[in-house]
Amino acid sequence: MAPLPISSIRVGQIDDVQELIKSKPNKVPERFIREEYERGVVVSSLKTHHLHHQIPVIDLSKLSKPHNDDFFFEILKLSQACEDWGFFQVINHGIEVEVVEDVEKVAKEFFDMPLEEKKKYPMEPGTVQGYGQAFIFSEDQKLDWCNMFALGVHPPQIRNPKLWPSKPARFSESLEGYSKEIRELCKRLLKYIALSLGLKEERFEEMFGEAVQAVRMNYYPPCSSPDLVLGLSPHSDGSALTVLQQSKNSCVGLQILKDNTWVPVKPLPNALVINIGDTIEVLSNGKYKSVEHRAVTNREKERLTIVTFYAPNYEVKIEPMSELVNDETNPCKYRSYNHGDYSYHYVSNKLQGKKSLDFAKILN
């Protein structure tokens, strides 16, 4: 999941945002304040409600019975969602509410623990596992208004057992059960995405090998000046699929870049938000796009999300699928590369929109 700590990295002082709001609730340190150009244009409030309902919603219950009208219509919706938005919500996904609520509960309990307890599981500079802030590579780099706790889940060799907390008591058990359910969901989604591309449904699973799965829990405390900060810097994901679960009663925080405007995404009750990662963009030769997204904060409300990243095994060679390349009408847009090399490249650089994908592009 991550490279070894890079001892030469100097990240300076990284304030814990939960501790900041306890000691100085009305002050935002300079290192968190973004330049005006970084904040971007957000869709107007008059359009927000309308656009919320434009975010595609895929009903997985309609995909459980193949080869009827509902199935083909939902596959078409999925194709359009991946091509036009890169994001969609799934309902009737089959994961029990109790499983979801349980992992939210232990995640919140973890973030509510004293700082000294959480610091037993530090995210070392240059890595993306543990508690802290990821993707920080210099002393003057701007910080996100967020605390993170990230873990490698599968296969076992990507785990760092020292970072799996002993408290809360049921943390590991709850996360294991939840991650197993999300893993099965990702396998199902990839079958449907394969069909939507005109591929055989097992195409991705056969190619991915023993897929890599990681989880990151993000806690965004209230911020006295939410217009000055970002909860999470703009980026696309290096995964194949990303599954976002937002805790109940959280404020809206996810925004996606659509037509050069930041559009808020309001999760539906009991839905999961799915986005296409860089890997699917490459494999589909650009037909399906990974989309730049970010998180913003709220003046009064906290926000907790649990994000799962699902990707091919690190040993797998990634390149546009031959079925989706045509020398005359749709030439190859991305070079061939090892997925482990791309993962290393991704986590070794700060979040900067879709800049990481330059690694794979064929320049004309």
Span 52-106, pLDDT tens digits: 447 899 999 999 888 789 999 999 999 999 999 999 999 999 999 999 999 999 9
Domain tally for the chain?
Answer: 1
Tens-place pLDDT, residues 147-164 = 999 999 999 999 999 999
Distance, in Å, from the CA atom of 253 to the CA atom of 298, rounded to the nearest integer, reads 8
103-110: average pLDDT = 96
Tens-place pLDDT, residues 263-307 = 999 888 899 999 999 999 999 999 999 999 999 999 999 999 999
What is the domain extent for residue 312?
29-360
**Structural domain contains residue 22:** no
Yes or no: say if 364 and 342 are a contact pair by the CB < 8 Å rule.
no
Residue whose C-alpha is closest to residue 351's, from 143, 158, 147: 143
Would you tell me how many other CB atoms lie within 10 Å of the CB of residue 96? Answer: 10
Task: Evaluate if residue 223 carries a pLDDT over 60.
Answer: yes
**Structural domain contains residue 23:** no
53: domain CATH number is 2.60.120.330
Residue whose C-alpha is closest to residue 142's, from 231, 226, 225: 231
324-336: average pLDDT = 90
Residue whose C-alpha is closest to residue 74's, from 193, 185, 183, 184: 193
Question: Is residue 47 very low, low, confident or very high in pLDDT (cuts 50, 70, 90)?
Answer: low
pTM attached to this predicted model: 0.92
Question: Is residue 46 very low, low, confident or very high in pLDDT (cuts 50, 70, 90)?
Answer: very low
